[in-house]
Structure 1
Amino acid sequence: MTVLVTGGAGYIGSHMVLELLDAGEPVIVLDNLSTGFAWAVDKRATLVVGDMGDQDFVERVIRHHGADAIIHFAARIVVPDSVADPLGYYLANTVKTRAVMAAAVATGVKNFIFSSTAAVYGTPEVMPVNEDAATRPESPYGTSKLITEWMLRDAAAAHDIRYVVLRYFNVAGADPKGRTGQSTPNATHLIKVAVQTALGLRDKMDVFGTDYPTPDGTCVRDYIHVTDLVRAHSAALAYLRAGGTSMVANCGYGRGYSVQEVIDTVREVTRVQFRTDYAPRRPGDAAAVVADPSRVKATLAWVPAHENLGEIVEHAYAWERRLANGPK
């Protein structure tokens, strides 16, 4: 059995590749390297460079390598960018994912794990938010992922394919062994930006919005360690292979931290009092989003191991220092 990982040269995907390889799974990575890095793909995996939107090409890759499962990460992920370029996001996240689904159906791949997002909820009315809450995305990014969820649901109803949709909350941190991490130079992930600023790689960082209806006025998010996240994918793969039915599950810890709390934690861990400036709200940002992770824990027997925010920051900081010296 071989697993095809789309976007496996990227942040979360490269961690997934390590998780699968460490478990003895043969892995094929499909990535166009537009934002990922070939050096981030462990040498034990096979890297195929190409466009996931080319259905015939994806079918050839699946057949040649005998993939029985697809874990689909490849996507564009920056909320404000999606507001500025909605059609680009619908192409990358929805249209091209449709090609991957069609290739899976055509080649008989029965197990599909999809990387979705808490952005499908918009600003929830009740928190923590569970999977039965209304989906009201507030950005084209969130909408592009929600439409893809619907396509996957409908494809599974018509064809012999089962899926797990994992709705991520805010992914952060890096491999505890220092093998990979968030490596995009201009990434917008809060913790990455903060540790870069602490290291002097940025002159300062901006806090977007201080007037949200939250305790300190800054956005509140549920931060999940990337290693815990990919272990949820491994659990999802085992569940599907054992005959589990299609499902949607949140991936978060059920505990929210504000932007200001994260900055304070980064300052504590790094012992650097870096500069922060305050700026207006960004379009598409919800005030607060915190997961109810009951389903993923109960159905997939997922037990997180890295819930401490300080530990998440420590791993991100260690990776950023290594990245500055060249991880290749």
Structure 2
Amino acid sequence: MPEHVLVTGGAGYIGAHACKALAAAGYVPVAFDNLSTGWEAAVRYGPLARGDLMDRASIDAALAQWKPVAVMHFAALSLVGESMKDPGLYWRVNVGGALNLIEATIAAGIGDFVFSSTCATYGDQDGVVLDEDTAQRPINAYGASKLAIEQMLGNFRESHGLRTVIFRYFNVAGADPAGELGEHHDPETHLIPVMLDAIGGKRGALTVFGSDYPTADGTCVRDYVHVTDLADAHVRGLRWLQAGHGSRVFCLGTGQGYSVREVLDHARVVTNRAVPVVEGARRAGDAAKLVCGSARAVTELGWQPERGLGEMIRDAWRWSQNPLY
């Protein structure tokens, strides 16, 4: 009988892709989501359990009904700018919700927990490929809240034997190559979908936030990873735990950083259209350069990012022209 996995945020961008990957691997993904930012139409590969991480009873009910063998935790507030303006919101929702989930997981007798963290826990460390041993010094409340959850999981590993895989990654991009899933946030803040909407005339010119960073062209540099590759890593992380390996942290990235201007250049090639751009001021909490190494994931999980920036933009462009939700 197929094993169930509870996927918090399973109606969201990354969570929905993880559900598809889990289903392809023989699991039944149960999307636990309050649909505040997710989309019911994205829940295509298993049941939807409506609930909220701030409501412990709804978590307990979902765990009792579906009896999952593991929990995969994606649900979180994730806007850096918003986290700087309202840090209390991020501590309440991200950290408080995670605590409810972890305690419910322990109470239900579930031992395997996969957590979606972020390279934002590292802060601004230029000229360094960020890996699992890099010191974590977040510079915004979003990154700080994720680091707090990592530390909380460590406490529960020690006290309750919870087995955890933590993934740290930064810019996720692209869409399901089959066209079933894509990125749709409201509001949308991620560079690639905003850029493609500007190219397609769905919004005004793209604002480049800061052109005076200490990078080659003055714009921020990020490591982009395709959402399908990322989802594959999460399935591998779950199997790592089920195979009896110990708790582990993995960074996921390509090791290749691209500046905002380089992303715009790639988009012009893929779409054969100009990108309307205006210059703006820096955003509070933005790091100049974040590049994420993934040697451990490659070596220990057998994971390999197969899709480059061009494919991410092509898949996202295809989705933006015919979104299903």
The alignment's TM-score, normalised by the length of structure 1, stands at: 0.96
Give the secondary structure class of the aligned counterpart of 1:210. coil
Give the secondary structure class of the aligned counterpart of 1:138. coil
- How far does residue 52 in structure 1 lie from its aligned partner after superposition? 1.5
Change (3 A) 1:126 1:258: closer
- Show the counterpart of 2:33: 31
Distance 2:28 2:186 in 1: 30
Please tell me whether residue 222 in structure 1 is matched to residue 223 in structure 2: yes
Distance 2:320 2:71 in 1: 30
Alignment of 1:200-219 (within 5 A): 200-219=201-220
- How far does residue 295 in structure 1 lie from its aligned partner after superposition? 1.0
Alignment of 1:71-110 (within 5 A): 71-110=72-111
- How far does residue 285 in structure 1 lie from its aligned partner after superposition? 0.2
- How far does residue 126 in structure 1 lie from its aligned partner after superposition? 4.6
Distance 1:130 1:74 in 2: 23
Give the secondary structure class of the aligned counterpart of 1:171. strand
Distance 1:274 1:131 in 2: 36
Alignment of 1:166-315 (within 5 A): 166-306=167-307, 308-315=308-315
- Show the counterpart of 2:16: 14
Q: Deviations over 1:20-70 (max 9, x none)?
A: 11222112111000000101110x411011112222321221121111100
Q: Is the 8 A contact 2:173 2:225 kept in 1?
A: yes
Q: Is the 8 A contact 2:256 2:291 kept in 1?
A: yes
- How far does residue 309 in structure 1 lie from its aligned partner after superposition? 1.0
- How far does residue 226 in structure 1 lie from its aligned partner after superposition? 0.2
Higher mean C-alpha displacement, 28-37 vs 179-188? 179-188
Distance 1:79 1:125 in 2: 18
Distance 2:245 2:102 in 1: 19
Q: Is the 8 A contact 1:111 1:162 kept in 2?
A: yes
Distance 2:65 2:175 in 1: 32
Q: Is the 8 A contact 1:2 1:67 kept in 2?
A: yes
Give the secondary structure class of the aligned counterpart of 1:289. strand
Partner amino acid, structure 1, of 2:146: K
Partner amino acid, structure 2, of 1:8: G
The alignment's TM-score, normalised by the length of structure 2, stands at: 0.97
Q: Is the 8 A contact 1:123 1:289 kept in 2?
A: yes
Distance 1:87 1:203 in 2: 32
Q: Is the 8 A contact 1:15 1:180 kept in 2?
A: yes
- Show the counterpart of 1:51: 52
- How far does residue 133 in structure 1 lie from its aligned partner after superposition? 1.0
Distance 2:59 2:4 in 1: 14
Q: Deviations over 1:187-244 (max 9, x none)?
A: 1110111111111111201000101010000000000000000100010000000011
Distance 2:209 2:172 in 1: 19
- Show the counterpart of 2:317: 317
Distance 2:13 2:48 in 1: 15
Distance 1:80 1:223 in 2: 19
Partner amino acid, structure 2, of 1:90: W
Please report the RMSD computed on the Cα atoms of aligned residues, expressed in angstroms. 1.0
Q: Is the 8 A contact 2:253 2:305 kept in 1?
A: no
Q: Deviations over 1:253-311 (max 9, x none)?
A: 100000000011111111111310011100000000101111111121112211x2111
- How far does residue 73 in structure 1 lie from its aligned partner after superposition? 0.4
Aligned length: 323
Distance 1:125 1:322 in 2: 38
Distance 2:159 2:319 in 1: 44
Alignment of 1:134-149 (within 5 A): 134-149=135-150
Distance 2:61 2:299 in 1: 37
Q: Is the 8 A contact 1:198 1:267 kept in 2?
A: no
Give the secondary structure class of the aligned counterpart of 1:216. coil
Q: Is the 8 A contact 2:226 2:312 kept in 1?
A: yes
Partner amino acid, structure 1, of 2:317: Y
- Show the counterpart of 2:130: 129
Structure 1: segments with no counterpart, 5+ residues: none
Change (3 A) 1:312 1:265: same
Q: Is the 8 A contact 1:131 1:249 kept in 2?
A: yes
Q: Is the 8 A contact 2:56 2:104 kept in 1?
A: yes
Higher mean C-alpha displacement, 238-247 vs 267-276? 267-276
- How far does residue 186 in structure 1 lie from its aligned partner after superposition? 2.3
